[in-house]
Amino acid sequence: MSQVLVASNRGPVSFSSSEGGALTMRRGGGGLVSGLAAVTGAPRNPGPLSPSATGTASEASDVLWVCASLGEADRTAARRSPDGRIDLAGYETGGAAVRMLDIPEATFQRAYNAVANSTLWFVHHLLYDTPRSPHFDARARRDWQSYEAYNAAFADALARDAAQGAKAAIQDYHLSLAPRMLRDRRPDLKIVHFSHTPWAPPEYYSLLPDDIGTQILLGILGADHAGFLTERWASAFLDCCELVPGARVDRAARTVTCSGHVTHVGVHGLGIDGTALRQRAAEQDVVERARALREQVGDRQLIVRIDRTELSKNIVRGLAAYRELLVNHPEWRGRVVHLAFAYPSRYDLPEYREYTAAVERMAKQITDEFGTADWDPLILQVNDDYPRSLAAYGLADVLLVNPIRDGMNLVAKEGPVLSERGCALVLSREAGAAAELSEDALMVNPYDVSQTAETLHRALLMPHAERARRCARLTAAATALPPQRWFADQLAALD
């Protein structure tokens, strides 16, 4: 295999430090890391790792993963490693070479929080309250300069590390400018950029300042291949490319030609490695948590949701729908429990702190209104517990996935795969996974709380035989495009 370089903001490992300064390494979290780790050989499951003198990756490894230092402990680890090579510092990285970039904290924070998460994420997920935001002023331009510097740091590292003719797989909206920067530095490389988010339609994308919007499109068009999770997001990208002066979009060939360079646009759905997920779910920590949950819930039906407290995940409306279910169908009181895992996300941003508080307020309202001495209608958990999430999948009678907009949403695929008796999936039509799962899921408009409430009622009433048949078909669809194939298809597109 020729050399493959992977670039992403979050890497396969992360570090924390004790009061004495000792570093502890953990496997990285998040759907992107899990998907990429399945094909790079890096660790996949969250949990601690220890330094190992014998488990290092070779300097000539076929796979090199370049990532950013996300915090001070990461930066310390990068500084203590030979040129940021974590694997050469004696840490077990599962066979992948890992270079962690020591990007200055101020530059990283402005690029990551102010641009990637507060601007690009908001644009692609249509999250702006437009009478008040966005507001692009001199400070926004300073933040943009940090985003450029952040992308340049990745391009410099990739250009330096890449062998002649190597393939570079650049991942996600954090690195939208890196493909063009890397092509300018190393025109011999084959470059793919993959977007894990939705892509905004032109009328919404145009909220960005004209020059910044154009720079992002030109950045991705520096790649030989631009990949998306669904046809819908790929089509929106092509629509936006038609706004670029001098760009020529060929819909039939699905290419964009700009300044003499041709970028192919492809769709690569991302599914689940069913075997690996089931093996993880069979481990003792998951079994113990499943036993505890079953004792807590009893013989009641269980509605499960597992999300980060991310604005696009629509947790508050999901809780409101559950409340309306209990109001309109009092027969379910005492007979159903809603288990909601809402793990804190992006707490550095005020919008996310307020949203987490809104989730907690709605949960308290439901508990206060309906709870009895022998029935807790809602179990809300806000601390991250991966084994407990896997346990909840197995016990769910109904899985609620109702984002207002989502690139794919692997929760909708993981749940059916681990379901023990067959769960009904209530799924938003705005989730990327809807393109593959809509025939066997119960589809909802994520903004329609009343419709979602009635759909939860239908799901709870669904006969077990029908639920099991639907779940089996959902499982087949969820595992049809495992991460290995998803990534291999991106690399194959470069040939």
132-184: pLDDT as tens digits = 999 999 999 999 999 999 999 999 999 999 999 999 999 999 999 999 999 99
Helix axes 210-220, 231-241, angle to 10 degrees: 120
Side chain identity, residue 441:
A
Q: Is the pLDDT confidence value at 463 over 50?
A: yes
Q: What is d(CA 464, CA 314) in angstroms, rounded to the nearest whole number?
A: 28
Percent of the chain residues past pLDDT 70, beyond the cut = 93
115: CB partners within 8 A, 6+ apart: 143, 144, 146, 147
What is the reported pLDDT for 382? Answer: 86
Enter the DSSP assignment of 9. Answer: S
Confidence tier at 207 by pLDDT (50, 70, 90): very high
Q: What is d(CA 171, CA 178) in angstroms, rounded to the nearest whole number?
A: 10
Confidence tier at 103 by pLDDT (50, 70, 90): very high
Residue 399 CA neighbour count, 13 Å, CB half? 35
Higher pLDDT, 485 or 471: 471
Mean pLDDT confidence for 342-366: 87
417-453: pLDDT as tens digits = 999 999 999 999 999 999 999 999 999 999 999 999 9
What is the reported pLDDT for 1? Answer: 46
SS3 363: helix
363-404: pLDDT as tens digits = 999 999 999 999 999 999 888 889 999 999 999 999 999 999
Mean pLDDT confidence for 465-486: 95
Which tokens is 309 given?
């407290």
Q: Is the pLDDT confidence value at 124 over 80?
A: yes
Q: Is the pLDDT confidence value at 32 over 70?
A: no
Burial class (CB in 10 A: 0-12, 13-18, 19+), 152: middle
Q: Are strands 13-17 and 23-27 parallel, antiparallel or unpaired?
A: antiparallel
Longest Cα–Cα distance of the chain, Å, equals: 71
Mean pLDDT confidence for 191-203: 97
What is the reported pLDDT for 34? Answer: 59
Q: Are strands 225-228 and 442-444 parallel, antiparallel or unpaired?
A: unpaired
Q: How far is CA 493 from CA 208, 224, 331, in A?
A: 30, 9, 54
Enter the DSSP assignment of 20. Answer: T
Confidence tier at 349 by pLDDT (50, 70, 90): confident
Mean pLDDT confidence for 80-109: 90
If we measure between CA atoms, which residue out of 211, 205, 169, 165 comes closest to residue 187? 165
Mean residue pLDDT across the chain: 91
SS3 162: coil
Strands of the sheet with 190-195, listed across from one edge: 97-101, 63-68, 4-7, 167-171, 190-195, 225-228, 261-267, 255-258, 248-250
- Strongest mean pLDDT among 190-199, 335-344, 374-383, 484-493: 190-199
What is the reported pLDDT for 53? Answer: 31
Residue 469 CA neighbour count, 13 Å, CB half? 5
| Model confidence pTM above 0.85 | yes
Q: Is the pLDDT confidence value at 494 over 50?
A: yes
What is the reported pLDDT for 33? Answer: 62
Q: Is the pLDDT confidence value at 43 over 90?
A: no
Which tokens is 413 given?
């695929």
Q: Are 175 and 153 in contact (CB under 8 A)?
A: no
Q: What is d(CA 428, CA 406) in angstroms, rounded to the nearest whole number?
A: 9
What is the reported pLDDT for 41? Answer: 54
SS3 content of the chain, % helix, strand, coil (to 5): 45, 20, 35
Q: What is d(CA 250, CA 238) in angstroms, rounded to the nearest whole number?
A: 9
Q: How far is CA 371 from CA 12, 149, 325, 438, in A?
A: 42, 52, 14, 34
What is the reported pLDDT for 495? Answer: 87
Q: Are strands 398-401 and 301-308 parallel, antiparallel or unpaired?
A: parallel
Q: Is the pLDDT confidence value at 335 over 50?
A: yes
CA gyration radius, the chain: 23
Mean pLDDT confidence for 235-259: 96
Mean pLDDT confidence for 1-13: 87
Mean pLDDT confidence for 95-107: 92
Q: Is the pLDDT confidence value at 5 over 60?
A: yes
Side chain identity, residue 50:
S
Q: What are phi and psi of 248, to 5 degrees?
A: -120, 120
Residue 65 CA neighbour count, 13 Å, CB half? 30
